[in-house]
Amino acid sequence: MDTEEKKSLLADTINEGEKDKAVKLLSDWASQFGYKETIFTVLEPLLIEWGKLWMQGKLSLAHGYLSGKVAEEFYLIASQSKEFLSSKKRSKGTIILGNIEDDFHPLGRRLVNIFSNAAGWNIIDLGNDVPAELFVEKAIENKADIIAVSAMMFTTAKNIIKVRNEIDKNGLTDKVKLAVGGAVFKLRPELVAEIGGDATADNAIDAPALFDSLLKKN
Amino acid sequence: MNSLERIMATITGEDADYQPFTLLLSLFGASLIKADTHEYYRNPNLWFEGQKAAIDIFDPDILITPFSITLEGEAFGSELVLLNKYAPNIKKPFITDLTQFDQLQAPDFDKSEAIQFLLKATDLIAEKYKETKAIAAPIASPCDTPALLMGVEMWIDTLLFNPKKVELILKKTTEHFVRFGNEYLARGASFLVIPVDITSAAIISEKIFKQLLPYFENTFNQIKGPIVIHSGGTKILPFLDRFAKLPNVIGCVLEHTEKFETARQIVGDKMVLMGNIDGSNFNKFSIEKIKEKTLEILNNRKNDKHFIFASSNADIPYDTPFETIQAVVDTIRNFKKY
């Protein structure tokens, strides 16, 4: 079976909602050809392809979610394999990710996690309803390059100002960039600057490129 | 012809005196009376005052009861946030952990402030207008309501991996839907409008949709009045063939980029088609542009006797210039369809 056939079979399996079967397929291929080969030639290209189709409205969010779950499980298995433990892919940098205080809309954040992880970033995901202080505390603890904060609504987006203040208060203004994202920033792009953000991306698939550009500025 | 007769003519395919229309002015009513939206979505009298102002000025053929599906989420226990110049939104879903499923209770109509607001506002609209105008009551779809209670992600996860939990939660939401839908109709709504943002091809797969279809069939069958399916903010065409065949469905509202010709191919000549100017972006249109867009839609549907001009997507924004809406209404009024 060539790479295209593998991608096609994996896509069909995920389409059918068969998460465990999809993870098993990947694991079987990994045992024959290696984890990196499987990730770089089958899984990641499929994730990127599906991400683009999702953005064009040609795939459902459920497809994206399921492919993300498959990727999450397979990355976990891969990370515990000898192949990965012995020569782990060099991380581009560390990102502290989370939904801001009072925000409970995790979908965008989780997709950012999946796509950024796939692109080689070390993601520390703090989950929903994260206080500003914790973002910065974790950034210091993990020597993070970027804090990425998600908010869906205007009311919660305003809480991101506290993260900006914490970053500045701790003398990290030039060391840790603040990326922001969520539906409200698409509707009101001027809000990014208003709440002290350094940049935003329109969607999860564009997030890794945004992080790359922010890293260059650090 | 009064508005009600005009709408009835459209449903039966007879000639009306002019092109019937409706606009989603639920939020804009607050703007007209300079009301604080925090109070507007809690006080049915204030909301009605805003609607009366909108009706007096724009005189739409279909009136719409409060468009705030999130209030139903609040009635189930989700935490609501009231916003300045916007309709309310869900701040914190009721269910944040799968173990909380068992605590979910269908709302008590008498005790829920949110349900009381929605029903009293409907009473006020119906009391004054039901003899002369059609009244549409937006209600959360039984299969979209779970997303208001647990967020979209957890609902997708549940649909994919927890079929038993899906059954449990839909038992609650379908019971509520039938009871609440029939209550709206009993209080004077002419038909229900059901947005299907979540039960759309943008969110769920074909396979999941097929699993949900029996719940729609079963609940729609128990509704004692007509139903219009609304695209919400997403595309409705991918699932329209199935939606159109559901019990009591008489029409659908297209998303603003969808083509009426394609919808007609799917549903045939008799079903009412509504839309499709982008209501949620009214504040970004120039007067000339919105006239042009309105005329484009009217000309496209000139020979369609089962067409009602309507704003698609969400509310017309609070800060939309009054003249923009007036330009749409004037263009419709001056259009010689018949």
pLDDT in tens, B269-313: 999 999 999 999 999 999 999 999 999 999 999 999 999 999 999
**Fold topology of B3-333:** TIM Barrel (3.20.20)
Write out the H or E segment, with its range, that includes residue B92: strand B89-92
CA distance B16 to B10: 7
CA distance B110 to B118: 12
**Fold topology of A3-86:** 1.10.1240
B70 close to B87: Cβ distance less than 8 angstroms: yes
Specify whether domain A94-217 bears CATH 3.40.50.280: yes
In whole numbers, what is the pLDDT of chain B averaged over residues? 95
Minimal C-alpha gap between B320 and chain A (Å): 15
Q: Is the pLDDT of residue A206 over 90?
A: no
Quote the distance between the C-alpha of residue B183 and its chain's center: 16
Q: What single string gives the DSSP state of each residue in A179-195?
A: EEESHHHHH-TTHHHHT
CA distance B84 to A86: 55
Minimal C-alpha gap between B235 and chain A (Å): 9
Let me know how many helices (H) and strands (E) chain A has, helices first.
13, 5
Contact residues for A117 (Cβ-Cβ < 8 A; gap 6+): A71, A75, A123
DSSP state of B317: P
Measured between CA atoms, the residue of chain B closest to residue A187 is B281
Instruction: Out of A60, A61, A104, name the one closest to residue B93 (CB).
Output: A104
ipTM of the complex: 0.90
Measured between CA atoms, the residue of chain B closest to residue A107 is B153
Beta carbons of B92 and A102 less than 8 Å apart: yes
State pTM to two decimals: 0.85
CA distance A109 to B226: 40
In chain A, residues under CATH classification 3.40.50.280 are 94-217
Q: Average of pLDDT values for B100-108?
A: 88
- Token pair 């269908």 in the structure block, residue: B106
CA distance A114 to A67: 10
In whole numbers, what is the pLDDT of chain A averaged over residues? 88
For residue A62, list chain B residues with Cβ-Cβ distance below 8 A: 156, 159-160, 203-205, 208
CA distance B282 to B328: 10
Q: Is the pLDDT of residue A89 over 60?
A: no
- Nearest to B310, CA basis, from B117, B186, B127, B134: B134
Minimal C-alpha gap between B279 and chain A (Å): 15
CA angle centred on A193, ends A187 and A195, rounded to 5°:
85
In chain A, residues under CATH classification 1.10.1240.10 are 3-86
B325 exposure class (CB count in 10 Å sphere: 0-12, 13-18, 19+): buried
pLDDT digits (tens, 9 = 90+) for B179-227: 999 999 999 999 999 999 999 999 999 999 999 999 999 999 999 999 9
